Amino acid sequence: MPIRILLADDHSVVRQGLRMFLELDENIEVVGEAKNGEEAVQMAGDLLPDLVLMDVLMPKMDGLSATQKIRQLYPEIEVLVLTSVLDEVTISSAVRNGAIGYLLKDTQAEDLCKSIHLAAEGKVQMSPEVAARLAHELCEDHPRIEELTSREREVLQLIANGASNKDIASHLFIAEKTVKAHVSNLLAKMGVQSRTQAALYAVQKGWTGDRPGLQPS
């Protein structure tokens, strides 16, 4: 089945352009367009897309607030930010609010399509410039990775690889309720507020792949 996308951008020409080239990919279907954050939240509930491609600067409700509401109301829907805004406060807010990734509008069309496919699988997607800004912030914050148990590190690695709680439970042969507890614990220990923040740190440390556990670098 194709990935069902909701576009959220206040510029109609941007939405039209995105729709045109995204629908060249037979595995992507644009199911709706929202011209502000308020519409994005409403349409997300009505259409239940797999992913919302979200601008930041929009009237009525900005993309950051819309991202937070969508992730709270419909956690199964991923939000991928696509914007021209490049500052650490906005990037950090998007990640804290639950965005699976943050891309700049100068991203090549082919790369955007690839990122949509990966984000729909739960894998963090960041433009290189964005990742560099976040890496600086994470280095300053010093997530307390040494406090994680071996099991929590396994869970973190699987999160970084895009696994859902259900996937993690199946992979580790534990109950989904136990996975949720591990996720809550590791977020608290790392001092981060979202799975995306935790996954981004793991990706930047190279803790992805098929190994059963993580080894700090």
Q: Are residues 54 and 113 in the same domain?
A: yes
172 by Cβ neighbours in 10 Å (0-12 / 13-18 / 19+) ranks as middle
Predicted confidence (pLDDT) per residue in 151-161, tens digit: 999 999 888 87
pLDDT in tens, 62-103: 999 999 999 999 999 999 999 999 998 999 899 889 999 999
Q: CATH number, domain at 8?
A: 3.40.50.2300
Domain presence at residue 75: yes
The answer to whether residue 213 is domain-embedded is no
Question: Are 150 and 130 part of one and the same domain?
Answer: no
Contacting residues for 160 by C-beta, under 8 A, at least 6 apart: 124, 198, 199, 202, 203, 207, 208
Please give the DSSP secondary-structure letter assigned to residue 84: S
Q: How many CB atoms lie within 10 A of CB 122?
A: 19
If one counts every other C-beta atom within 10 angstroms of the C-beta of residue 118, the result is: 16
Number of domains in the chain: 2
Instruction: Quote the CA–CA distance of 204 and 95 in Å, as a whole number.
Output: 15
Tell whether 87 and 179 lie within a shared domain. no
Residues 196 and 131 in one domain: no
**Boundary of a domain, candidates 137, 158, 183:** 137
HSE-CB of 34 using CA atoms within 13 angstroms: 30
Under the banding of pLDDT at 50, 70 and 90, the label for residue 193 is confident
Q: Which of 137, 169, 184 is the last residue of a domain?
A: 137
Q: What is the pLDDT of residue 201?
A: 77
Last residue of a domain, which of 116, 137, 158? 137
CB-based contacts of 24, cutoff 8 Å, min separation 6: none
pLDDT of residue 99: 94
- 130 found inside a domain: yes
**pTM attached to this predicted model:** 0.79
Q: How far apart are CA 53 and CA 39, in angstroms?
A: 13
Structural domain boundaries, residue 173 = 143-204
Map residue 27 onto helix, strand or coil: coil
Cα angle for residues 169, 170, 173 (degrees, 5° grid):
75
Whether 207 has a pLDDT exceeding 70, the answer reads no
Tell me which residue has tokens 């981060």.
192
Same domain? For 37 and 129 the reply is: yes
Query: Is 21 part of a structural domain of the chain?
Result: yes
Q: Is 184 among the domain residues?
A: yes
Which CATH number goes with the domain that contains 155?
A: 1.10.10.10
22 pLDDT higher than 80: yes
Both 117 and 166 in one domain: the answer is: no
What gap in Å lies between CA 155 and CA 14, rounded to an integer?
38
